[in-house]
Amino acid sequence: MAEIKKIFVNGKDEVEFFKQLEKRSGETNKKVTAVVNEIIETVREGGDNAVKAYTEKFDGKLPEYYEVPRDVINDALTEADQDFVDAMLNAVANITDFHQRQKSQSFINAKDNGCILGQKVRGLNRVGLYVPGGTAAYPSSVLMNAVPAKIAGVKEIIMVTPPLKDGTPNKDILVAAALCGVDRVFMSGGAQAIAALAYGTEEIPKVDKIVGPGNIYVATAKKLLYGVVDIDMVAGPSEILVMADEKANPKFIAADLMSQAEHDKLASAILVTTSESIADRTIEEINRQVQSLSRKEIIESSLENYGAILICNTKDEACDLANRFAPEHLEVLFENPMEYLGRLDNAGSIFLGQYASEPLGDYYAGPNHVLPTSGTARFFSPLSVNSFEKRSSFTYYTEDALREAKDDIVLIAEKEGLTAHANAIKVRF
């Protein structure tokens, strides 16, 4: 039986619960960091030989090939179940339609005095996409990372993914790669693959940015290599917060809470409701539905340790709690949910109404499922086309325009004690 705690919001108990959640991913694992640092340095020095040695060590055997041949990728698509391919194509269409609207435009501003100012926007040259393998293989993540990269104008996408135990690639991952136009696929996983992408090896090209989910070793490698290469974000455990009033359906609430709890024993699933009756009926539904779910043990552990039902007095109070937690996924199962959208400032992705279940966002609707976690939705945004763009500003000034501005520039430069800055303006006159 899943033991999920009930908390009556009183300004104290819910605060203690949120503090407990913050400890989930706040501690840096020093042992993991030491191991990852060693892997990074070994790959930096040893290149592909080091990567292959780690693959053999961690995955049991070397794969049949290091880089997956293009005909193997194409064959995976040809041989795939057509219903799966059609579902993926529908998802790609929705993801593409949503993300095309995010593309930034360059601009130029020609002023009356002859000065020209502007911004140039273009896609990154090369991006690395990490895709977990084995039982945690998520072809949907390939779509969510590759589609916006392509729309942004990224010239080349390099995918790395660990081999299955028999040394072959996951076919579903290859299908997704083929549908999204991934350029090259290498059979390597873990921190060693991240290091290879960051520094480049004889065969794996050096990339400008690394995106995609992974285990603690992958996440630590991305964190340590940030600065050498850009990254999407350092993701913590998955989380969902469902806001529900007395008219919400407990069956839906329970199902949606467990859809995130099944990710990981550290995942957090929270219900904030104005109805104690809904709280009790949701607990009953959780205990009924969980019996038939394949990841029952993970769900029960997640709900017991990091789940909660918060019972509050008003919907405004529920909105305040949601903004305080800043969840990765936020569901609004209130009557007339659109009325509350303006109140909700801190969330990775917001799902409005009883038929906008969170898995709709994971796979299909169009908005990205790579979202900020652990409260970082207060200042981070979902992965987007903008994540794969870079911007340069440009400035052109005429002699007359600089003469008009020179005294101000010199004054500011000399106030800062940077006389060479001031001199670079003075010498022109």
Could you tell me which residues are annotated as the binding site for Zn(2+)? 260, 263, 362, 421
Say whether 369 is catalytic: no
DSSP 246: T
**Cβ atoms of 149 and 181 closer than 8 Å:** no
Number of Cβ within a 10 Å radius of residue 161: 26
Determine the residue type at 370.
Answer: V
CA distance 72 to 62: 17
Q: Which of 75, 74, 56 is nearest to 188 (CA)?
A: 56
Residue ranges of the binding site for NAD(+): 130, 192, 215
- The catalytically annotated residue of 239, 262, 329, 331 is 329
- The catalytically annotated residue of 239, 300, 328, 389 is 328
Say whether 56 is catalytic: no
**Under 8 Å CB-to-CB from 20, ≥6 apart: which residues?**
306
Q: Which of 323, 345, 324 is nearest to 16 (CA)?
A: 324
**374: left (phi > 0), else alpha (psi -120 to 50), else beta?**
left
Q: Which of 87, 96, 95, 157 is nearest to 123 (CA)?
A: 157
Strand 107-110 relative to strand 116-123: parallel, antiparallel, unpaired? Answer: antiparallel
Residue ranges of the binding site: 130, 192, 215, 238, 260, 263, 329, 362, 416, 421
**Cβ atoms of 345 and 323 closer than 8 Å:** yes
**Cα angle value 302/132/81 (rounded, 5°):** 105
Q: 346-352: list long-range contacts, CB under 8 Å, 24+ apart.
A: 346/322, 346/375, 346/377, 346/378, 347/241, 347/322, 347/377, 348/372, 348/373, 348/377, 348/382, 349/382
**Under 8 Å CB-to-CB from 330, ≥6 apart: which residues?**
240, 241, 242, 243, 322, 344, 347, 348, 349, 350, 351
Question: Catalytic residue numbers?
Answer: 328-329
